[in-house]
Amino acid sequence: TQTQIQPQTQIQPQTQIQPALPPFQVSTNRGGLGPGHYVITPSNHFGSRLPDFASTVVKKLTTPRNGSARVAMYLLEIEPGGGTTRPTGDGFEHFLYALDGGLSGPFGEDAPASAFAFLPAGERFEVANRSASTARLIWVKRRYEAHPGVPDPAPVTGVAGPMTATPGSVPGVYRLELLPAEPSFDFAMSILSFDPGAVFPKVEIHDEEHVLYMLEGRGVYVLDRAHYEVGEDDFVYMAPYCPQYYYPGGLSRSAYLLYKDANRDGF
């Protein structure tokens, strides 16, 4: 069975405030590494290739080689005509999120930006770019952690539509869950979005690991004792128990895609 995620509460689209802030300077290194965290910006990217992909530049934002991660996040830049050369993904569970439209894959043919798909462990996927421009895909991959008595999760596809408000969330902070909140799933994928000036309710310190990809806007991420200016297309890794706080900044809404391991006790 296939679960279709539907947005519930519509948030009013925000009026565009002009002028926009200037883009970050590519030559300015905002990236960095500290206790339990690192930040990678587009100016820090270094492209790799993977054997099951043709005409695709791979940015390995995190893998278990970082020492603590139990997850990988890749940014794939798939050129026109590029994509998988064979069904890929053997033995892992996967979450795919299209940053640009035009890709064909488990989320559908010629899918719009923000289409996504979850594939349970054991399923493989193919992806192709039949459009005329390069299209980017976020790929999250991890080993499934089964739990006795809990059924394995089913595939999920959807398109992350307008933001939905989570009951109990603070004013100006919205959270859209992309996967069902069921114990079958050993991770959550969410889109957190923030009105400018919204207050993140606390400095969090928790067992769960995060990988984060900035989808829009800008702000300041506090990781342990360090402050990082972050904006669209930046990546953040947070190890278990890394103190974390976000100051939404800029003149428009900011949003990020967030991975969090869930529903397991950490052993």
Q: Which residue ranges make up the site for Mn ion (CB under 5 A)? A: 204
- Tell me whether residue 146 or residue 205 sits nearer to Mn ion (CB atom): 205
Binding residues for ligand UGY, rule: CB under 6 A, are 192, 204, 210, 244, 258, 260
Q: Which does 79 bind (CB under 5 to 8 A by kind): ligand UGY, Mn ion, none?
A: none
**In the complex with ligand UGY, which residue's Cβ is closer, 127 or 236?**
236
- 132 vs 203, which CB is nearer to Mn ion? 203
**Shortest CB 212 distance to ligand UGY, Å:** 7
User: Do 38 and 237 touch, CB atoms closer than 8 A?
Assistant: yes
Q: Which of the listed partners (Mn ion, ligand UGY, none) does 88 bind, with a CB threshold of 5 to 8 Å by partner kind?
A: none
Q: How far is the CB of 83 from ligand UGY (least distance, A)?
A: 31
The answer to whether the peptide bond before residue 120 is cis (omega within 30 degrees of 0) is no
**CA 92, CA 119: separation in Å to the nearest integer?**
9
Closer residue to ligand UGY, CB minimum distance, 20 or 220: 220
Q: Whole-number minimum distance, CB 181 to ligand UGY, in Å?
A: 12
Could you tell me the smallest distance in angstroms from the CB atom of residue 142 to Mn ion?
17
Residue among 116, 101, 257 at smallest CA distance from 193? 257
Let me know: does 159 contact 176? Beta carbons within 8 Å: no
In the complex, residue closest to ligand UGY by CB: 244
Residue 192's binding partner out of ligand UGY, Mn ion, none, with CB under 5 to 8 Å set by partner kind: ligand UGY
Radius of gyration of the chain (CA): 18
Q: How far is the CB of 168 from ligand UGY (least distance, A)?
A: 12
Which phi and psi (to 5°) does residue 54 adopt? -110, 150
Which among 252, 263, 250, 255 has a CA at the least distance from the CA of 234?
Answer: 255
Q: What is d(CA 112, CA 107) in angstroms, rounded to the nearest whole number?
A: 9
Name the β-bridge partners of 3. 156
130 versus 260: smaller Cβ distance to ligand UGY = 260
Count Cβ atoms within 10 A of the Cβ of residue 167 and give its class: 0-12 exposed, 13-18 middle, 19 or more buried. Answer: exposed
Q: Rounded to whole angstroms, what are the CA distances from 184 to 92, 137, 144, 180?
A: 15, 25, 10, 9
Strand partners, 196: none
C-beta of 210: minimal distance to Mn ion in Å?
Answer: 6
111 binds, among Mn ion, ligand UGY, none (CB under 5 to 8 A by kind): none
Collapsing DSSP to helix, strand or coil, 64 comes out as helix
Query: 258 contacts which partner out of Mn ion, ligand UGY, none, CB within 5 to 8 A by kind?
Result: ligand UGY
Q: Pick what 141 binds: Mn ion, ligand UGY, none; C-beta below 5 to 8 Å, kind-dependent.
A: none
126 binds, among Mn ion, ligand UGY, none (CB under 5 to 8 A by kind): none
CA dist 237 and 95 (Å) reads: 17
Residue 112 CB, nearest approach to ligand UGY (Å): 25
